[in-house]
Amino acid sequence: MTTAPPLQQRAGRYRGLGTGSPRAEVKSGRTSYSVPRTNPKGALAPAAPPSPTGTGGAAAPPCSAVGRLLRLLPALVLLALAGRGGAAQTAGAQTAPPPERAGGAAAEVVVGSKVFTESVVLGEIATDLARDAGAEATHRREIGGTRVVWGALLRGDVDAYPEYTGTLAQEIFADEDVSTPEALRSALARVGVRATPPLGFNNTYAIGMTEARAEALGIETLSDLRAHPALRFGFSNEFLDREDGWPGLRRAYGLPQADVRGLDHDLAYRALAAGDLDAVDLYSTDAEVPYYGLRVLEDDRGFFPRYDAVLLYRADLAERAPAVVAAWGRLAGALTADSVAALNARVKIDGETEAAVAAAFVRARFGVDTQVETVGRAGRVWQRTKEHLALVGLSLAAAIVVAIPLGIAAAKVPWLEAPVLGVVSVAYTIPSLALLVFMLPVLGIGAPPALAALFLYSLLPIVRNTHAGLVGIAPELRESAAALGLPARVRLQRVELPLAAPSVLAGVQTSAVINVGTATLGALVGAGGYGQPILTGIRLDDVGLILEGAVPAAVLALAVQGLFSLAGRVAIPRGLRL
């Protein structure tokens, strides 16, 4: 004698359908079908004839549990949209609303910056001057590395950002000679970009060691490194791959070191101070150089070019906002290496915000009175929560709409099973950082690439669980429904999906929890969320800022798990709950 499988035993308690049930009715259109019970041996018991009028007998079962789950989507989407509505990028320093131009509303200007302190400070300075010139200016902070921000400028995602001439010559236009200012201007003009005159300081690359370590080994120049092949180097990831970074430096000096690793620029300083590294790359205006007492090794072969700071801006900005371009021209020669190092130190060492430091500079240098809006910790957490909910909610809602039909197709159409499951599995294995970067050329910076990546990561658990839930239904139950002559659509909606609902909901819950954690990476492309304070905290060595993003993310993950557990009790009938 065979024993009914657990799934069938649970299903038997669903509104009289299954083991031990005299009869259950399933309504299709205007006809009421009587579903026969199965006896313990799986045989079909006699069934009452169908009632063409649809009256009499047991009441029809409720709508599919999956249908109930889908009805929760509008609330999920509305919650996410509310988050996006209040999730505008904060610009840090705020001025009074700019006056309208004679032709209408004030010009909109978006300033970008890279993921290091000096770039953020310069971005804030440029934003303050743009506002003072009458523009509606916003600052998209810490968008990414050189290639990411350069791409954003070419696409029009940002109108301007701080850059360095050495980076343009060695990284952006590496295949052509732009060694003269005229050649550089010509190369920029070909892609619709212009540059302000140099801001006044050269922030060149350099290699640094702790004073004690360099003194003990007698190292003063980069050439001296050749005599110490066992030294441990730690370079920023961008420096590790750039032609004006480690690859070119190694060739120029014939350096033999093999223990070379890539890591975050700010973490490298801490590793150097702790003795875990012997040498790191640094910027000559970094606040950490005097703070840690580092020895800057002499570039005795003149490998590193000049890195004169400029503001790059789109050529069309000169027509859209000529006053802004003129205001940025006032920065020519306004900054020195020492003054910039002091600005960096006020942020990284003294703990001031980039917005406050920039506001103080433009007030002292140009007489621009900029009011800095101070947002408390609670306000910042609420802002990031709305951004994070938007990323998770919108991507999850889209994934549910797409993944459940894909799971059904994989279960119902044999030749689709392998392709569907294979494609969503491959998408899930792509590293998240790589996937975000792949999306940038098509979707630009901000929320769109993050939403697309999160959507793709959400597919696999839902598709696989929907497929598993459907193919795992006991054959006896399928036979019972088929024996009645129910249409395939009705069998799917009234019998199969309700039985598969626990598995489907488990897949959605898994995707939701994974999305909460993965969405923190959205900050790398300017999407905000809890990842923003985490990245800023790493850059500033501020544990409080890191926890400001990490703790709410963990709490949200627990809340999402609890919410879906509660939704399962509401949407899934008692007899089908796992």
Q: Look at 9 and 311; give whichever has higher pLDDT.
A: 311
β-sheet with 309-314: strand ranges across:
136-144, 108-114, 160-164, 309-314, 193-195
Question: Could you say which DSSP state residue 172 is in?
Answer: I
Q: Look up residue 86 and give its DSSP letter.
A: T
CB 76 within 8 A of CB 393: yes
Q: What is the pLDDT of residue 78?
A: 53
Q: What is the mean pLDDT of the chain?
A: 82
- For range 322-349, the mean pLDDT: 94
- Alpha-carbon span 150 to 134, nearest angstrom: 25
How high is the pLDDT of residue 79? Answer: 52
Question: Backbone dihedral region of 296: left (phi > 0), alpha (psi from -120 to 50 degrees) or beta?
Answer: beta
Task: Pull the structure tokens for residue 515.
Answer: 């999305």
- Percent of the chain whose predicted confidence (pLDDT) is above 70: 80
Q: Is-contact 520 553, C-beta < 8 A?
A: yes
**DSSP track, 23-66:** EEEEEETTEEEEEEPB-TTSPBPP-PPPBTTS-SSSPPPPSPHH
The two three-digit tokens of residue 446, written as one number: 């901000």
Q: What is the mean pLDDT of residues 203-222?
A: 94
Rounded Cα distance, 270 and 282, in Å: 12
| pLDDT tier, 475 (very low <50, low <70, confident <90, very high otherwise) | confident
pLDDT band, residue 73 (cuts 50/70/90)? low
Range 113-129 average pLDDT: 94
What are the C-alpha distances in Å from 319 to residues 107, 314, 326, 327, 331?
10, 10, 11, 14, 20
What six digits make up the tokens of 517?
């954690």
Q: Which two tokens stand for residue 551?
A: 């703790």
pLDDT at 93: 41
Count CA atoms closer than 13 A to 162's CA, side-chain side. 30
Determine the Cα–Cα distance for residues 297 and 375; give it in Å rounded to an integer. Answer: 41
pLDDT above 70: residue 129: yes
Supply the pLDDT for residue 77.
Answer: 54
Amino acid 542: pLDDT: 81
**Least trusted range by pLDDT, from 158-172, 356-370, 487-501:** 487-501
Q: What is the mean predicted confidence (pLDDT) over 381-399? A: 93
For residue range 404-461, what is the model confidence (pLDDT) as tens digits?
A: 999 999 999 999 999 999 999 998 988 888 888 788 888 888 889 899 999 999 999 9
pLDDT at 250: 94
pLDDT exceeds cutoff 90 at 495: no
Could you read off the pLDDT of 506-559 as tens digits, one per residue? 999 999 999 999 999 888 888 889 998 998 888 777 888 899 999 999 999 999
Among residues of the chain, what percentage have pLDDT more than 90?
51
Helix (H), strand (E) counts: the chain: 25, 14
pLDDT at 120 over 90: yes
pLDDT at 50 over 60: no
Q: Tell me what pLDDT residue 496 has.
A: 86
Q: Alpha-carbon distance 311 to 354, whole Å? A: 17
Structure tokens at 447: 């929320």
pLDDT at 452 (0 to 100): 92
pLDDT at 383 over 70: yes
The region that residue 535 occupies, defined by phi over 0 for left and psi between -120 and 50 for alpha, beta otherwise, is: alpha
Mean pLDDT of 330-359: 93
Burial of 357 (0-12, 13-18, 19+ CB in 10 A): buried
pLDDT beyond 90 at 208: yes
Alpha carbons 557 and 524: distance in angstroms, whole number: 20
How many other C-beta atoms lie within 10 A of the C-beta of residue 183? 14
